[in-house]
Amino acid sequence: MDWNKDEGRSLPDVKAASNNQDVNPSGQRLSIKSLLQLTSDDTKEFICGWGAAVINVTVTYPINKIIFRQILENVAANDAIRQLSREGLQLLYRGILPPLCQKTLSISIMFSVYEGSKTRLILLSNRPMISKILAANIAGTAEAILMPLERVQTLLQDWRYHNKFRNTTHVFKYLLMNYGIAECYRGLFPIILRNGLSNMTFFTLRDESKTIIGDENHGVFANFVSGAFIGGFTSTIFYPMNVIKINMQNKVGGEFEKITVVFREIWIARNRSITSFYHGVHLNYMRSFISWGVINAAYDFLKSFVL
């Protein structure tokens, strides 16, 4: 993909006006209202992201649950699998509703906000690289709105709360009635940090792969392979952020700890070993490899029909 090419996306109407206008480097006068206005392309990007994420969540949820146990209990994959086997099939998909809602909406927001922000920022600045970096972080921050769903998922997956919380609705009701909305956003900072850096890495490598391979050679299989390797690589680099996030969110009530404090607690509890922050990373890579391969291929496939 050419860094300076806008891929033929339709843009909001650009009209000359006397008030609330900016002039982009090409001399085109842009009204603030037109830049903020949602377009049909924004909606279509959202729909493509949503469709690509639905099947991904259903397929990868059991793997995610094994990884969660490894992170929380600091155990090997075989031990985590044995724990889930003892609990039975009826509890295997316990907690899937929050990630189903969160992931589908998150992927939709990720693609639509990134593409929409990138297009508008390039119009304003004519600096494609900076625009893509800013757009990736804007999308990552927007995704964090859905953080309460991650929070609930963490509590439902933790065996310590099996007898305390019945389902998603019960967890939300308990947190809101006893602690308020702030408790739903425990662990917000590592999520914003993870989202922004992950999006920046993913979209940069994704665009570069399209440039190297060429758009004409990017069929379903090529999109799956490139998305799989890029997603696996990105999730592996930022995996420790998930370890910190989960250890923040498996607590209910009490002081909101700083990310540095939680990092130090984990570091000391796990014998001051950096490798302990990567327990579960192998399954995480496998899950991300499959997940992002499916998402990338499905997104571009849907996009070819919808856009």
Alpha carbons within 13 A on the beta-carbon side of 236: 14
DSSP state of 23: E
DSSP three-state, residue 198:
helix
DSSP three-state, residue 270:
coil
pLDDT per residue of the chain (307 residues) written in tens, 0 to 9: 444 444 444 444 444 444 445 555 545 566 666 666 777 778 888 888 888 888 788 878 888 888 888 877 778 888 888 888 888 877 888 888 877 887 888 899 999 999 999 988 998 888 889 999 999 999 999 999 988 988 988 898 888 888 889 888 999 999 999 999 999 999 999 999 999 999 999 999 998 888 887 766 668 888 899 999 999 999 999 999 999 999 999 889 888 989 999 999 999 988 888 888 888 888 888 889 999 998 999 898 888 877 6
Under 8 Å between Cβ of 156 and 87: no
DSSP three-state, residue 31:
strand
For the stretch 233-251, what's the b/e string if a residue is b when 16 or more beta carbons lie within 10 angstroms of its beta carbon? bbbbeebbbbbbbbbbbbb
CA angle 40, 26, 112 (to 5 degrees): 25
What is the rounded CA–CA span in Å between residue 28 and residue 45? 26
Query: Domain 40-306 class?
Result: mainly alpha
- Dihedral sign, Cα of residue 296, residue 299, residue 300, residue 302: positive
Instruction: Tell me the pTM.
Output: 0.75
Domain parsing of the chain, residue ranges = 40-306
